[in-house]
Amino acid sequence: MASIIFIIEHLEPEVSKWLLFEYMHASEIVGKEKLWFTNVKRIEDFQKLKTLGRVCLERAFELFPPFKVIVLDPKANLSLKPNDFEGKEAVIIGGILGDHPPKGRTSKLLTATLPGAIVRNIGKVQFSIDGAIYVAKLVSEGTPLEAISVKRGLRIKLKEKFICPTLTPLRMVSLSSTLS
């Protein structure tokens, strides 16, 4: 299988500190040579992102024909499978910070711009941008979606006596038994 490009279609007004953190982690996950940021309009944002991957002013639909890409969208009817990547050049993730409850912005702002693209979900739940990148990478490498352990919320053990529970609508990939 050819090397897949991971595209984050930037859809927020600016690259905030939190968004930059997610983008930095996405770059660590797939490597800056495989990560593209599209729809980056502000010079300040271009400067922030240029060390993390390729930065493009254009939208993804201007750079790739729809039949060569996969769009990740929580509203998609079908789940992502390893064989979906056959003959594809890129997987596109919306650079959108999630809402609770979800407003369907990925469908409106991204999926609608790529008629004819394969549209898949990685579950009917929201992931962080970097979490979606990680899941897409695992599936592109042959791991079935159902084999990826996902948690809602997490408990962080700070010391033996302190546990800090966090509840978030986003899902996280569980890498070890230390997440509960």
Same domain membership, residue 72 and residue 154: no
Same domain membership, residue 64 and residue 47: yes
CATH code where residue 141 lies:
3.40.1280.10
Which helix (H) or strand (E) covers residue 135, if one does? helix 129-140
pLDDT at 150 > cutoff 90: no
Question: Average pLDDT in the 86-93 region?
Answer: 97
Distances (CA, A) of 133 to 24, 30, 43, 85, 115: 12, 8, 24, 14, 22
| Predicted local distance difference test score (pLDDT) of residue 161 | 63
Specify the pTM. Answer: 0.85
Same domain membership, residue 80 and residue 13: yes
- What is the maximum alpha-carbon separation in the chain? 54
Q: Read off the amino acid at residue 103.
A: K
Same domain membership, residue 153 and residue 139: no
Same domain membership, residue 130 and residue 156: no
| Predicted local distance difference test score (pLDDT) of residue 133 | 96
Write down the mean pLDDT value for the chain: 87
Same domain membership, residue 161 and residue 103: no
Same domain membership, residue 114 and residue 36: yes
Same domain membership, residue 135 and residue 68: yes
> Which residue is associated with the tokens 């006596």?
161
Same domain membership, residue 89 and residue 50: yes
pLDDT at 172 > cutoff 80: no
Report the percentage of the chain scoring pLDDT > 70.
Answer: 82
Number of domains in the chain: 2
Domain span at residue 27 reads 5-148
Tokens (6 digits) for 62:
């201007």
Same domain membership, residue 31 and residue 110: yes
